[in-house]
Amino acid sequence: MNEMSQELSEFVASSAERLGVPGVAVGVLAGDREIFACHGVTSVDNPLPVDRDTMFVVGSVSKTFTATALMRLVATGQVELNAPVRRYVPEFTLPDVAAADRITVLRLLNHTAGLEWRLSVDPGEGDDALAQHAAKLAESQLIAEPGARASYSQAGFNLAGRIVENVTGLTFERAVASLLFEPLGLAHSRYAVNDVMTRRFAVGHNIDVNGAVAVARQWKDNRSNNPGGGVVSSAGDLLRWAQFHLGDGRTAGGDRLLPAELLHRMREQTVELRGSTLGDGLGICWFLREVDGVATIGHGGSANGQFADLLIVPERNFAVVVMSNAGPDAGLAFNRATVNWVLERVLSVVDRDPEPLPYDGARAPEIVGQYENEMMRLTLDTNGTGLTIECAIKPEIRAATDTELPPDLPPAALGLLPGDDEYIVTGGGLQGQRGFFTRDKSGAVAGIDLAGRLFTRV
């Protein structure tokens, strides 16, 4: 293990420096041994060394905490997974009220509710943020019938956070602290800025107009997005979190938080995913993916210039945590390379990307065009010899906000895969991302799935 620790430290340092990532924290759990490798600084403007307790914004890894908190309420009989959300959040409705009645708690937790990716709304930082977010859904059209398909939804998880509030009578943040952070001893996991700023924390970085690494001035998202993406945590805490999910539902001190069968139910497939890098299916929140014949569960997360990945291999009692504070290309590339290196070095598990087909000029016109969801726009194009994909925040969304948003991703190469309208991104920050195109009843391409999210052709 000492040799492994040295090799990991060398890999992490050389990769971070090569990619230009200011600061990174990596944790590996192998059996009963923990290894950490940290490198660089929290901020290029106000640098402090990154260590195992440095707190990063972990983005959508936060969803694993929200889902587990709800499972604690399931265990006590306060919530039923198959009950309609409106039982617990009566203020929630949709333009189609009957459809709202068909959205269950489980459909929020496995992204099959049919809700949009997220809402472009900021209700402020008051205790009513999630209540306002739930009410705002009354203006939101479904992208699919509840239960019909999976499409990743931040809005759905924020609504799940409102269930936690209404059932417990506490703010969401206080409820998660009571249900999870405190009993598990996660001393470096928080939501509120005031709870983080007295500890060592990383800030995000992006590339400015001059090509230099610069601090991202919006540090984390607004409060209504806390259930879906608001946790700030450390490598040490996330490994402890992984240990809990590898266990039988007890804390390190032996106290029972969840029955083992409910904890392990979270990693049982509830819906199949098609052609997605995220996984082969979804459990309760967890993405389930077979890598080189080995079953894994995991979740990634992104914030403004920060990225986090948590991957767990239950059958090997193994977990890896990677956090970086640069984006988008450098942070994504560092996290992906590090997870893959650790899997191969520790478990002899190799994650291989499928080979794309040669460029087909006859198929290209079918898919070239623009695709959108509530927040983002994808542009697919061709130069006659290859396909590209560009990912951008919609201009009207940028114009309507007074905070700094993450930069757009420049065009990157995309190749089609054998099979039914599937593809893989072969360059840039999204390298390795796989997805698929959907067709309407006439057979025309009508949408594209990227990172589990549906984008409709416009």
Note down pLDDT in tens along the chain; length 458 residues.
Answer: 678 899 999 999 999 999 999 999 999 999 989 999 999 999 999 999 999 999 999 999 999 999 999 999 999 999 999 999 999 999 999 999 999 999 999 999 999 999 998 887 889 999 999 999 999 999 988 999 999 999 999 999 999 999 999 999 999 999 999 999 999 999 999 999 999 999 999 999 999 888 899 999 899 999 999 999 999 999 999 999 999 999 999 999 999 999 999 999 999 999 999 988 899 999 999 999 999 999 999 999 999 999 999 999 999 999 999 999 998 789 999 999 999 999 999 999 999 999 999 999 999 999 999 999 988 999 999 999 999 999 999 999 898 887 788 888 899 999 999 988 999 999 988 899 999 999 999 999 999 999 888 999 99
Tokens of 252: 């390190």
Kindly tell me the sign of the dihedral angle through the C-alpha atoms of 136, 140, 145, 148: negative
Tokens of 45: 């403007």
Closest by Cα among 368, 395, 386 to 458: 368
CA distances 326 to 46, 121, 212, 395, Å, are 15, 25, 12, 23
CB distance 300 to 451 below 8 Å? no
CB distance 342 to 87 below 8 Å? no
3-class SS at 146?
coil
